[in-house]
């Protein structure tokens, strides 16, 4: 066994301990321990809780000691919705939107997702990988230790497989965990739009060619669909998600973002892991989510960046008992940020979530939505030592300070993967 590490001296230690997914009032329970400590060995947490108790562990005496020096220690963020692999920004569309064009108008003119598809197809796998490596370093610098990543800017056999293979390669080349999702059903590719049978041809490509190949090569755990006007309708979404399930890919869905399509209730019926966006959900959708194990993943960064006034009804979802998670939706068109702390700030001010609720949604419930709640999302014995340390006195200051990075240190499987300055020994 390698040498153990003992982290102590935190002003607050948030363990997020507890049983199962967090709904309603339980969402606000961050398991705060004052004068707490965490003991790590072989990448796992072997003891956590009050300092005296942790220091009594047999491995503590010989452990390497790290002093959190009055900072706040909590689980690394889990970002359950990103579009990691893309070729370039879409700053030109950002300016067009500011000047008055809507997201849907830009998409109709060949901008939007298709713009990113053209850019991605034009670059090499190596160039995409280089960009993703830099982005993953940035995720770590904001306290994130696991991300979900979707394909969806390839939209043909070769390019979609290229993206999914990159997820796999990147998982072995850098420390953060990447959970891979197939989002071939992002939009219909431009080359098929002019054909009368274009949509059906594309759905058939996804179901008959891509899904079997992805399943054989084990390139994704989840299958996602953008169920929206101008993308995939309810019947097509159902067909694709059911096909994914036949290949053991659990459904996720982009639903009720710009219009109400009924995608949320479809996904709940299919036992989806997560329904994401939800700006346009109605009471019946909220009730369906509340009664289900499907996570409601909110993406306030997207509304903020698009300058939209309507955010998802987080309070109604929490009060009804839905399982809430938060994500960056990192993508070049609608949410170009890797910062979970910024998402927490938006969750607090725009979604009216408390800082504690937002932190639980960005750690434990996010891990649950990825089927990883037994391994990550809280600081508990036996879980991965995925930890972030923030340079604040009080956890509420993580969302309170916005647009600035207060993350001091990020630890993945017991190894420091980001640090502003080294932590002193105690
Ligand atoms: Zn998305």
Q: Which two tokens stand for residue 55?
A: 């220091």
How many angstroms is it from 226 CA to the middle of ligand 1?
Answer: 8
Q: How far apart are CA 251 and CA 143, in angstroms?
A: 27
Report the pLDDT value the prediction gives residue 105, as an integer from 0 to 100. 86
Question: Which residue's structure tokens are 């979404």?
Answer: 237
Of 346, 382, 325, 421, the closest CA to residue 81 belongs to 325
Q: Residue 107: its pLDDT value, please? A: 81
The confidence score (pLDDT) of residue 1 equals 57
- With a cut of 70, which residues of the chain have pLDDT below it? 1, 426
Strand partners for 77: 144
406 C-alpha vs ligand 1 centroid, how far in Å?
26
pLDDT at position 259: 94
Cα of 352 from ligand 1 centre, angstroms: 22
- Residue 426 pLDDT: 62
The predicted structure's pLDDT at residue 161: 98
Helix 234-246 and helix 198-205, axial crossing angle in degrees, nearest 10: 20
Q: What does the alpha-carbon distance between residue 206 and residue 246 come to, in Å, rounded to a whole number? A: 13
What's the gap in Å between 263 CA and the centre of ligand 1? 14
Distance (Å) from CA 101 to ligand 1 centroid: 20
- Between the CA of 353 and the centroid of ligand 1 the distance, in Å, is 21
Burial of 201 (0-12, 13-18, 19+ CB in 10 A): middle
Provide the pLDDT for residue 277.
Answer: 98
Are residues 375 and 383 in contact, defined by beta-carbon separation less than 8 angstroms? yes
CA 42–ligand 1 middle distance (angstroms): 35
| pLDDT computed for residue 108 by the predictor | 80
Neighbours of 89 (CB within 10 A): 13
């Amino acid at each position: 066994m390698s040498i153990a590490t003992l982290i102590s001296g935190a002003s607050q230690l948030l363990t997020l301990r507890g049983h199962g997914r967090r709904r309603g009032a339980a969402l606000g329970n961050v398991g705060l321990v004052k004068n707490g400590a965490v003991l790590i060995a072989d990448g796992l947490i072997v003891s956590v809780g009050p300092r005296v108790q942790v220091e009594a562990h047999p491995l503590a005496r010989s452990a390497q000691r790290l002093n959190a020096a009055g900072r706040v220690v909590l689980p690394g963020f889990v970002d359950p919705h990103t579009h990691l692999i893309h070729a370039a920004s879409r700053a030109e569309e950002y300016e067009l939107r500011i000047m008055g064009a809507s997201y849907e108008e830009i998409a109709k003119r060949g901008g939007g997702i298709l713009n990113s598809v053209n850019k991605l197809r034009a670059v090499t796998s190596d160039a995409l990988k280089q960009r993703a490596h830099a982005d993953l370093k940035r995720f770590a610098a904001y306290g994130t230790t696991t991300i979900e990543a979707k394909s969806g800017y390839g939209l043909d056999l070769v390019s979609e497989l290229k993206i999914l293979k990159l997820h796999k390669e990147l998982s072995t080349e850098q420390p953060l965990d990447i959970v891979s999702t197939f989002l071939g059903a992002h939009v219909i590719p431009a080359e098929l739009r002019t054909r009368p049978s274009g949509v059906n041809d594309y759905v058939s490509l996804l179901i008959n060619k891509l899904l079997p190949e992805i399943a054989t090569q084990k390139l994704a755990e989840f299958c996602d669909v953008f169920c929206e006007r101008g993308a995939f309708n309810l019947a097509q979404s159902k067909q694709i998600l059911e096909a994914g399930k036949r290949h053991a890919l659990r459904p996720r869905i982009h639903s009720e973002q710009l219009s109400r399509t009924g995608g949320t209730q479809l996904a709940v019926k299919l036992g989806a892991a997560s329904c994401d966006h939800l700006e346009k959900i109605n009471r019946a959708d909220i009730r369906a989510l509340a009664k289900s194990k499907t996570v409601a993943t909110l993406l306030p960064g997207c509304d903020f960046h698009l300058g939209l006034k309507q955010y998802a009804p987080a309070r109604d979802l929490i009060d009804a008992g839905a399982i809430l998670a938060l994500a960056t939706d990192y993508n070049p068109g609608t949410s170009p940020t890797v910062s979970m702390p910024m998402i927490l700030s938006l969750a607090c001010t725009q979604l009216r979530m408390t800082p504690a609720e937002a932190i639980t949604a960005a750690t434990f419930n996010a891990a649950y939505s990825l089927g990883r709640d037994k391994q990550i999302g809280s600081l508990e014995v036996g879980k991965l030592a995925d930890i972030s340390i923030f340079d604040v006195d009080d956890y509420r200051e993580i969302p309170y300070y916005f647009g600035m990075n207060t993350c001091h240190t990020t630890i993945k499987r017991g190894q420091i993967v980001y640090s502003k300055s080294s932590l002193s020994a105690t």
